[in-house]
Structure 1
Amino acid sequence: MSDRALILVEGSNTGNGLLYVKAAKNLGLRPITLSADPSQYGYLSSESIDAIRVDTGDVDALVDECSRLGATYEIVGITGFTGLDESVYATVGMLCRHFKLPGPNPATIERCCDKFAQRQLLAEAGVPVPTYRVAANATEVECAAAEIGLPVILKPAVGSGSAGVRLARNVDEVAEHTAFLMGGKHMWRSSPRILVEEFAQGPHYTAQIMGNEVIGIGTVEFGHPPHFVYRQFTFPAMLSDDEHKRIVDVSLSCLRALGLGWGPTNIELRWTKHGPIVIEVNPRLAGAPDPQLVQLAYGVDLITEHIKLAIGDKWNLRRSRSQTAAARILVPDRDGILDWIGGNSRAATVSGVAEVKFYVEPKTPIVRKGDYRDCLGCVTAVSPSLAETEAILQRAADLIDWSIIPFTAIGD
């Protein structure tokens, strides 16, 4: 009998890649990664995972490779990762349709990946969203910002991980960031279009959904503006029953408006003076550390249950725990060469710490981007209460340190 294989399109070093291959193995599956550059994912070699080089932007090439693999293995499911290019998940949907496997609707995913199209569908359905405009050049951006009123958020119409997203508090910052986005410094995955939107102010929440069920709602904290660099995630969010219900109701309205409801979705919201406002709907599983925190807080393994869905097995979304889990993101305060980083072993021994992970090695050049790529590592903790979890995180984080030599000091 041939091995049952799970095809993984692309991967992730700082996200869920390793967790998916481990979960697949635990389910008795053979994970096989298809990637344009498998060497970029270190865990593939360390875990001895089959990896095949193929142009993952070419659906026909992927179909051919999967067909070839199908002669050796029983392909029972296909899923994948997004990184900065969310179209990967739409490609996964196309492959699933072609091979008659469970998967997301590719047209729905593509529609959601365009933030302007997503905004239109949500607004038409009466889902509360920030006031927004789309612009194709500097003049249109300037006019849109004036119409909406400063401050505004400027972001690429297609993208993820807060890449290219910035708060513009005055006309100079509007012009500066527009020039950055349009001047060749930002990597565009499609025709350059900038979404200009009202700065919805208030606590930031994320709703983690599987199918049509909201599994958990967490809080997200960012560093100092004008960028949106993640600093901490906490599950569950401390909400009143009414606040929780309103976020759940709005989240489910998003699914209906966008035609979602198969598999994972994560929705970002802010609680403003008008209540919950939807910032973004991502038709995919959230990147790390959200799935790990959901498992620590609620006992629901989103990655394993997603794989079960992808291979046609019955999933189990029942909560088995009631804890408070949080992750502190380690972020550099300067550019330069990472001379050393340490303290992880000591931090890991703090009672209540679930994981301490570094994403960079010494001697790595550090150039802050103002988005998720600024992450040096992560500390995760869990306990029965928010206060205790916060204290554990702080004790562990205080044991971690690093040194960055500024570029200007090198060679002096």
Structure 2
Amino acid sequence: MSILVLHKKNLSRRSHLDRARQYAREHGERLLLVMKDPEWEAEYVDRVVIADTSSIDETLAAVRALAADESEAFSAVVTFAEAPVPSAARVAAEFGLPSVSEHTARLARDKWTMREAFAAGGVPQPRYGIAHSLEEARGIAERTGYPLVMKPVLGTGSMFVRSVDNEEELAEHFDFFLKGSWERFTYDPLHDAAHKAYDGGLLLEEFLPGTEICVESLVHDGETRTLAIHDKPLPTGPTFEEVYACTPTRLPEKTVRMVEEATVKVHRALGIATGATHVEFRLRGDDEPAVLEAAARMGGGPIYRSVLLSTGVDMVEAVLDLASGRAPRVEPAERATPVGFWNIFPDKAGTLTRVTGLDTVRADPRVDEVQIYKAPGDELLVPPQTFQGHGHLIFTVNTEDELDPAFREMTSTLRLETE
């Protein structure tokens, strides 16, 4: 039997592929990779097939050809990236493998239909609308109020997401974000259909000033098991990339229960009955969670390692179990270890000239992992024009009170310098 991984270039997914390779060997299976531009990823698998997993049709054709050429059947299909989620659902449907449905995969990628599904399912969420012009945006702002958030219908990692505080800022930024929200996501498998369906519109949402969190869960036979809640103290706007997140959450137990209940409602609204999920909330008032968006996949980048260090639960193993039709083993530690991670950006866009403080943080016993994805001479973008940091750092401390001071120390030591 063979495990099929549909992948898209992402420099933070090395540990995911490494664990998938171990899992395949533990179960006597081969690991097959489908992606457009493999480099180091090929080191972790038994066979690579070149195909653009952002295209559902191209992916399906490549997988059909692979199935005809392979002597063993596929036992599972997974993806650890956002864009291939619809392709993975289509392949799973074709070969009768466990997965979310194709409909659910689309709901979890298309933020307008996601909002409509949440509304139908009674899930608390911000007020929202879609605008095709500044005039329409001003009309929506009369309902949502200011600040409001502009975001693409498609996309990931808070790329081309920004808040505006007033009508003057809306007028200043609207056209740029309207254009970028489609031109920068042409790779998305849903791009052409969504652009036609929404006539190139931009999603506008009420800004909620409360605490932001993200929730990592596993769903097995329709039952949700929440593994970890990360607090996300930064940023607070105007952009919303995941700079800093930490777990376990410092929310009161009553609020945690409300978040867990809201997560179950999110899964039901989207029809998620199996797999891992990453759900983002902000609190309205002191304790009412309102959903920002949800992904029908495990959280990206350092979240895998963060959950593992904090709880002892291996989410890659659990995802592969679920995709293989096995019941995952979920035995979290009795006490969660405080973990923080930093997605590293420079202060300004430009050419990377040097990395300072790397040896110092590597020698820090609190640092579990630090990776810089880029090298001097590379061009570095900053949010909102990129969805991914240019490195990450993960650290552990003894108590939750030490998380924020440790983060401030790490960020003052390690720097990406650009010019």
1:141 aligns to what SS in structure 2? helix
User: Corresponding residue for 2:86?
Assistant: 90
Instruction: Look up the SS of the partner of 2:278 in the other structure.
Output: strand
> 2:101, 2:341 → 1: CA distance?
32
The match for 1:8 is 5
Q: Which string of whole-angstrom CA distances, capped at 9 and with x for unpartnered residues, describes residues 258-317 of structure 1?
A: 211310111111112162111112222110111211111111111111011112223111
Residue 33 of structure 2 aligns to which amino acid in structure 1? T
Secondary structure of residue in 2 paired with 1:113: coil
Deviation at 1:58, TM superposition (A): 4.3
Q: Match for residue 315 of structure 2?
A: 302
For residues 94 and 215 of structure 1, the distance between their equivalents in structure 2, rounded to whole angstroms, comes to: 27
1:261 to 2:269 alignment: no
1:114 aligns to 2:113 (yes or no): no
Alignment of 1:188-337 (within 5 A): 188=185, 189=191, 190-191=194-195, 192-211=200-219, 212-223=224-235, 225-273=237-285, 275-320=288-333, 322-337=336-351
Secondary structure of 2:361's counterpart equals helix
Whole-angstrom distance in 2 between the partners of 1:81 and 1:48: 15
> Which of 132, 135, 145 is the aligned partner of 1:149?
145
- How far residue 60 of structure 1 moved from its aligned partner, in angstroms, is 4.3
| Residue pair 1:296, 1:325 contacting (<8 A) in 2 also | yes
Kindly indicate whether the alpha-carbon contact (under 8 Å) linking 2:345 and 2:382 is maintained by their aligned counterparts in 1.
no
Write out per-residue CA displacement over residues 140-160 of structure 1, whole angstroms, 9 at most, x where no aligned residue: 222111232221111112222
| Distance change (3 Å), C-alpha of 1:402 and 1:215 | closer
Please name the residue that 2:188 is paired with: none
Match of 1:345 in 2: 359
Which residue of structure 1 aligns with residue 30 of structure 2? 30
Deviations for 1:105-159, whole angstroms, at most 9, x for unmatched residues? 1111112322122112212222211111122333222211123222111111222
Query: Aligned in 2, Cα 1:323/1:81: closer, same or farther, shift over 3 Å?
Result: closer
Distance 1:55-1:358 versus aligned 2 partners, 3 A rule: closer
Deviations 1:48-72 (A, max 9, x none): 6632212434444433432333333
**AA aligned opposite 2:211:** P
Quote the residue 1:53 is aligned against. Answer: 50
CA distance in 1, matches of 2:262, 2:45: 43
What root-mean-square deviation, in Å, do the aligned CA atoms of Structure 1 and Structure 2 show? 2.2
Moved more, 28-37 or 368-377: 368-377
| Helix, strand or coil at the partner of 2:108 | helix
Secondary structure of the equivalent of 1:230?
Answer: coil
* Cα separation, 2, equivalents of 1:214 and 1:178: 37
Q: 1:246 and 1:184 mapped to 2: Cα distance? A: 36
Query: 1:32, 1:49 within 8 Å by CA — same for their partners in 2?
Result: yes
Question: Closer, same or farther in 2 for the Cα pair 1:48/1:80, shift >3 Å?
Answer: closer
Q: Tell me, which stretches of 5 or more residues in structure 2 are unaligned?
A: 186-190
Report if aligned partners of 1:353, 1:392 keep a CA contact under 8 Å in 2: no
Between the aligned partners of 1:276 and 1:301, the Cα distance in structure 2 is: 26
- The more displaced of 128-137 and 43-52 is 43-52
CA shift in 2, pair 1:98/1:388, >3 Å: same
Residue of structure 2 in register with 1:381 after alignment: 395
